[in-house]
Structure 1
Amino acid sequence: MARVIIGVDPHKRSATIEVINERERTLAQGRFGTDHDGYQAMLAAGRRHKERLWAVEGCNGIGRHVAQRLVADGETVVDVPAKLSARARVFSTGQGRKTDPVDAHSVAVVALRTPGLRQVTVDDTSVVLRLLVDRRDQLGRTRTDIVSRLHHLLLELIPGGAKKDLSAQQARALLNTVRPRDLAG
């Protein structure tokens, strides 16, 4: 077991960390951006401690980007499920208030006290698949947007517009039938 646990509460644009020892004494805290400079500063803050273990909340969700970067840089990272850190937060504070420093502390305490947390590994295949899926979704949204604009245009130019399922050839044929009669045409 590592002598120091670094609890990470990740967000899209920032990450809050708290470093605790085996007796849950806070050794350091900080809030860092997730851009290149912020990440490097966070990594440097963590590397000040020799025997360290990074505990990141939600490594399959919002914490994925931070966890994968840490693993790629040779750090040992465990995944702390959000439900466990929420329970630890309620028990430690008494009211369950969510603040970033309290969340980071809860993540670190869960990693310290819970054996068998999943160790994060480099996941290149999932990253590639996620990029492909995101690209496919983006292309689908773009196509829907273009078809919607085309339908709106045809509604302005042709009385009654065009049918719902319209191919590119059908749209071209319809546009070829339009004869301008006024300034808008």
Structure 2
Amino acid sequence: MYCPVGRLDALDSSDLEVLRQQRIAEMKLRARKKQEWLAMGHGEYTELADEKEFFTVCNKSDNVVCHFYRDDAPRCRIVDKHLKILAAKHVETRIVKLNVERAPFLTARLKVRVLPTIGLVKSNKTTDFIVGFTELGNRDDFSTEMLEWRIARAQVVEYSGDLTVPPTEGKKRVLQVQGKRNIRGRNDSDSDLDSD
């Protein structure tokens, strides 16, 4: 329950106790959910054996990220590195990979033609795809934060940042603001010609 700061002073001890009990109940529920997620394989980046296992995973977990890959594709190894980090960070989402050679029906049905492709599944429905690296800055050295932000835009992971601005853009804006100032801290020129 949210309580604005001004109203916080007006609360008596019984109100504070109610708030405390609600927060404890929320924390217990979250801990219980986390244990359930871990029991279902969340928190680890695992490989699925086949298409049947893909459907089983999607039926059990509300949020699934599936990396469609092939062993001989070097860019797939880049995605593996990032998804392994995100799997440990986002226990609320099941993050898996599936070799396209073991899933011909599924890859044809989902129209997976470019590798790597990341399928984003919410409530047992494929809602979005990340195809190649175009949406990740169109470069091989994109950050894990960039991939996390892109997955979060599909609401498949919990994200605390701004979904309207990619993490790389936010950093550029900060650098631009800092870069405009000169040594004296003024935004205008310090040329001797300007003072005449």
Q: TM-score range by the shorter chain?
A: under 0.3
TM-score by length of 2: 0.26
Give the TM-score normalised by the residue count of structure 1: 0.27
Larger Rg: 1
